[in-house]
């Protein structure tokens, strides 16, 4: 049986722990006969997985998936949107075609930039400011990760703060037990280059790892009348140092220091195309956007300490600090029209449509005093905290318990206009941008502070597994405000103080060795962010899931239905993701909504023998829903559609794996069309420009082992060069990348 099939639907943490020394110890420790012999369970300290069940999936109480290192290497993609398409229940969509701004939603929880999921790296919060600014303008680089976990259901209450939909945990390269390293070099279309290398070793009680990830490319967009590329340049470096106590020590301990430094420059734009221009050339970019550029980076440090008090009790404590900056020069206004309303003037043939089109084409000069206004989004986010969790295994009668008690203190600091500038004004003259003036701005600062705690008990008795869990949040937030603000401005500052107590229960029942049933219910919560108006409540929901699993040999099926009942739905209002009515700041309360659907996953070896195997994987999600209560401000009405939620998404992978080592895979991806605004489905609303297109693409990859240490591969993405509108924002139609090719080399040493 091929490893990719056996590891996909989940032995949830069995796969996460498969390549760690802890795996065997944990698997044995969870057997009733071995429950009293847990010395190895604590002596061998854990990885940074968020999946609590290291046994096979029949015992998991919720929906959980792992993409192993081998799964990530299949197509060697650094685009988070591409990688996560293979997980049922996860929705992704392209904004610029390169994954610079991942838009990830789980069970249709969000239409923004991954702002309703908990993004973690090695089990700790990785978003820029998960409490203060929930949108993920920064997403950890998928290209340097060793595996990815996606967790849904009640167990996400242990990971917050966003607990409605799910958590994505990106696991970085671990320190190897034996000295060695790997190198991956790749060259592809549009000048794309990639280098990923790491080396590490463990000697005695000490271990280390050094790693770099570097990538660059010209991008596939052609900017009118410009020799600038629409590409990117990425540099990242990571170092790890680990100390482990002696095997004969009274108390087992491990300390690991992790340092990360990364910078990225991306010539990306918020401005899309009119529908007519997109249809003519989806890879075009208007010339007046040529100066748009995002410069972002991060410095981060974490220190993790694991202490084994007894054979059955351990305490894991992590201190973390992230400093993320994002300097983005982007178009904010064109000829007096704010971004978000430019292309719609042309699409709908409104007043001045011809003039706006000519300005976009560069054949007309701007006539408004503000010409082409570039906003300077100079922002910095400092996110820091300490989280600790006590795990204790014990038995009461016939019940086996895994008690987990945790607490986290977290603080976000947000800074705007850190360079003291607000905008630069240009005039378009003869198709060229001519500098006019700069508008200064006062630096601003805001913050959020949160205390959270959780307690859960995984109880096993006979064929049953139960997981009751409770989470508590206490959040204080203050909106960004200029340091020289007047007393009146300070008095009017948006501040919020809120608490939330949520609970959940997951249940699993093993019908037979092959069939299991699972069910779960939990209360979800999402913080409103520090830009929310006073009195804004957090998002509240009740989440249900239930399903069945089947496993027999190399064949398995997961079918899980879900229903999310939002009593108070919220959305983040951004220039990149405006709320109804064109609102681009703060958090909007959208009333109530219901979302329901089905997640289906299948793996199988269609054929095995005669020197090769034919593995198959299927991931499919059906989703529907509507708003069940209007927003207080009338921006969303009862019966409105759930925007950016295609009813059908799916991926089918089929491969050919030879015993001699060569492999080939094909992946077909599909996403149905979706409305881009809640109002799109209303009677009398012209929705021609309020929807995305359906899209089907085919990707191919093949690899061949030259030696035991060297492998070459070739990849062809979007084989039939299908391009469609995948997103409409911040202004205009945006699409996926055209057909691209790449060749690469992987070395182990």
Confirm if 248 and 231 have CB atoms less than 8 A apart: no
| pTM of the predicted structure, to 2 decimals | 0.92
Interatomic CA distance for residues 541 and 54, integer angstroms: 29
CA distances from 657 to 82, 663, 709 (A): 22, 5, 18
The Cα–Cα gap between 190 and 218 comes to 5
Whether the pLDDT of residue 468 is over 50: the answer is yes
- The vertex-721 CA angle with 714 and 646, nearest 5°, equals 105
Residues 356 and 358: their CA atoms lie apart, in Å, by 5
Burial (CB count <10 Å: 0-12, 13-18, 19+), residue 418 = middle
> 336 Cβ partners below 8 Å, 6+ apart?
368, 369, 370
277: three-class secondary structure by DSSP: helix
What DSSP letter does each residue of 61-106 carry, written as one string? SS-EEEE-HHHHHHHT---HHHHHTTSTTEEEE-SSSSSSS-EEEE
Residues 6+ apart with CB under 8 A from 476: 448, 449, 450, 495, 496, 497
Residues 6+ apart with CB under 8 A from 294: 100, 264, 265, 266, 267, 268, 326, 327, 328, 329, 330
Rounded to the nearest 10°, the torsion over CA 173, 177, 181, 184 is: -40
Other C-beta atoms within 10 Å of 708: how many?
Answer: 8
Q: Residues of 436-463 as b/e, b for ≥16 C-beta within 10 angstroms?
A: eeeeebebbbbbbbbebebbbbbbbeee
Q: Which two tokens stand for residue 262?
A: 């990364």
* Residue 36 clears pLDDT 60, i.e. is over it: no
Residues 6+ apart with CB under 8 A from 666: 653, 654, 655, 698, 699, 700
Residue 51 CB contacts under 8 Å (≥ 6 apart), including other chains: 10, 12, 13, 16, 64, 66, 149, 151
Q: What is the token pair recorded at 733?
A: 């139609």
Cite the DSSP H helix spans in 506-637.
none
pLDDT tens digits, 241-288: 999 999 999 999 999 999 999 999 999 999 999 999 999 999 999 999
What structural domains and CATH numbers belong to the chain?
Answer: 3-748 (2.40.170.20)
What is the average per-residue pLDDT within 29-33? Answer: 35
Q: Give the side-chain half-sphere CA count within 13 A for 359.
A: 25
Q: What is the pLDDT of residue 56?
A: 53
- 511-528 burial code (b ≥16 CB/10 A, e <16): eeeeebebbbbbbbbbbb
Checking if the pLDDT of 208 tops 90, the result is: yes
Instruction: Supply the pLDDT for residue 296.
Output: 94
User: Is the sign of the CA dihedral 65, 71, 75, 78 positive or negative?
Assistant: positive
Which residue carries 């009733």 as its tokens? Answer: 32
Q: Are strands 495-510 and 464-482 parallel, antiparallel or unpaired?
A: antiparallel
Poorest-pLDDT segment among 20-24, 413-417, 548-552, 684-688: 20-24
389-433 pLDDT per residue, tens? 999 999 999 999 999 999 999 999 999 888 888 999 999 999 999
Lowest-pLDDT choice from 102-106, 236-240, 719-723: 102-106
Provide φ and ψ at 276, rounded to 5°: -65, -40
Do 261 and 325 form a contact (C-beta atoms < 8 A)? no
**Max Cα distance, the chain (Å):** 84
């Amino acid at each position: 049986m091929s490893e990719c099939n056996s590891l996909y639907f989940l032995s949830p943490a069995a796969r996460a722990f498969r390549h760690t020394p802890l795996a065997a110890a944990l698997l044995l420790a969870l057997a009733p006969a071995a429950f009293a012999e847990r010395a190895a369970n604590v002596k061998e300290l854990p990885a940074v997985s968020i999946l609590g069940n290291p046994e096979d999936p029949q015992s998991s109480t919720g929906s959980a998936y792992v993409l192993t290192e081998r799964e990530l290497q299949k197509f060697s993609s650094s685009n988070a949107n591409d990688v996560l398409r293979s997980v049922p229940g996860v929705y992704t969509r392209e904004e610029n075609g390169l994954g610079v701004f991942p838009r990830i939603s789980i069970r249709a929880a969000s239409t923004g930039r991954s702002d309703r999921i908990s993004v973690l790296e090695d089990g700790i919060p990785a978003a820029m400011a998960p409490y203060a600014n929930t949108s993920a303008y920064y997403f950890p680089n998928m290209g340097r990760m060793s595996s990815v976990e996606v967790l849904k259901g009640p167990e996400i209450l242990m990971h917050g703060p966003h607990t409605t939909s799910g958590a994505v945990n990106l696991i970085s390269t671990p320190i190897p037990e034996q000295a060695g390293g790997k190198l991956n070099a790749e060259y592809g279309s549009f000048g794309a280059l990639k280098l990923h290398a790491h080396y590490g070793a463990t000697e005695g009680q000490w271990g280390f790892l050094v790693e770099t990830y570097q990538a660059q490319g010209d991008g596939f967009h052609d900017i009118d009348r410009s020799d600038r590329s629409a590409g990117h340049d990425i540099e990242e470096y990571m170092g790890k140092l680990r100390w482990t106590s002696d095997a004969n020590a009274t108390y087992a301990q491990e300390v690991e220091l992790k340092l990360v430094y990364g910078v990225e420059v991306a010539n990306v734009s918020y401005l899309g195309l009119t529908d007519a221009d997109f249809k003519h050339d989806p890879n075009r970019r208007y010339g007046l956007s040529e100066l748009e550029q995002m410069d972002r980076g991060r410095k981060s440090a974490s220190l993790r300490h694991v202490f084994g008090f007894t054979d059955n009790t351990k305490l894991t404590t992590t201190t973390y600090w992230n400093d993320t900056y994002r300097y983005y020069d982007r178009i904010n206004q064109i000829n007096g029209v704010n971004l978000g309303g430019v292309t719609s003037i042309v699409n709908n043939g409104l007043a001045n449509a011809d003039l706006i089109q000519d300005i976009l084409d560069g054949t007309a000069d701007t006539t408004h005093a503000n010409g082409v206004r570039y906003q300077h989004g100079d922002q910095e986010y400092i996110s820091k905290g300490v989280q600790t969790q006590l795990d204790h295994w014990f038995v009461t009668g016939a019940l086996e318990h895994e008690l987990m008690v945790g607490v986290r203190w977290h603080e976000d600091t947000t800074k705007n206009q850190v360079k003291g500038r607000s905008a630069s004004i240009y005039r378009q003259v003869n198709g060229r941008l001519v500098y006019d003036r700069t508008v200064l701005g006062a630096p601003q600062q805001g913050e959020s502070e949160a205390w959270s705690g959780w307690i859960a008990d995984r109880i096993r008795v006979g064929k049953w597994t139960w997981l009751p869990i409770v989470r508590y949040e206490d959040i204080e937030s203050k909106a960004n405000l200029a340091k020289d603000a007047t007393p009146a401005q300070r008095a009017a500052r948006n501040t919020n103080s809120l608490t939330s107590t949520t609970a959940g229960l997951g249940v699993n029942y093993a019908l037979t060795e092959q069939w299991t049933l699972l069910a779960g219910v939990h209360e979800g919560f999402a913080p409103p962010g520090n830009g929310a108006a006073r009195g804004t409540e957090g998002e509240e929901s009740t989440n249900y899931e239930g399903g069945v699993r089947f496993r027999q040999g190399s064949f398995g099926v997961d079918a899980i239905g879900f229903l999310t009942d939002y009593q108070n739905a919220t959305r983040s209002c951004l220039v990149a993701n405006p709320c109804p009515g064109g609102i681009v700041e703060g958090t909007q309360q959208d009333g109530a909504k219901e979302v329901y659907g089905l997640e289906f996953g299948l793996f199988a070896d269609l054929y095995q023998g005669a020197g090769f195997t034919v593995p198959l994987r299927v991931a499919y999600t059906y989703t529907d829903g509507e708003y069940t209560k209007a927003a207080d401000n009338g921006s969303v009405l009862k019966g409105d559609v759930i925007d950016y939620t295609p009813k059908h998404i799916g991926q089918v992978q089929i491969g050919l794996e030879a015993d001699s080592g060569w492999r080939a895979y094909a992946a077909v991806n599909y996403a149905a069309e979706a409305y881009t605004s809640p109002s799109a489905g209303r009677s009398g609303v012209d929705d021609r420009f309020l929807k995305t297109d359906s899209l089907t693409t085919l990707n191919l990859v093949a690899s061949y082992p030259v030696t035991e240490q060297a492998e070459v591969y070739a990849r062809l993405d979007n084989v039939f060069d299908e391009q469609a509108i995948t997103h409409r924002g911040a202004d205009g139609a945006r699409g996926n990348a055209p057909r691209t090719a790449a060749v690469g080399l992987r070395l182990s040493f």
